[in-house]
Amino acid sequence: MSCLQVILAIIFPPMAVFDRGCGSMLIVLLLTLCGWVPGVIAALIILNKNK
């Protein structure tokens, strides 16, 4: 998890998980549409997992 990905996760969560696949990006996008905080939390959790 790089600093750029963390900043992206805070500003626009779906772009932070772009390299993790379509499923992860879709989940984070849906959570971001429901509310900004759930999207940020989901993005940080996905970024924290090992590839």
Tens of pLDDT, residues 9-31: 999 999 999 998 899 999 999 99
Which of helix, strand or coil describes residue 14?
helix
The model's pTM is 0.87
What's the rounded mean pLDDT across residues 35-50? 92
Beta strand extents in the chain (DSSP E only): none
Q: Which secondary-structure segment (H or E) carries 49?
A: none
The CA-to-CA distance between both ends of the chain, in Å, stands at 10
Phi, psi of 37 (to 5 degrees): -65, -45
Domain boundaries, the chain: 3-48
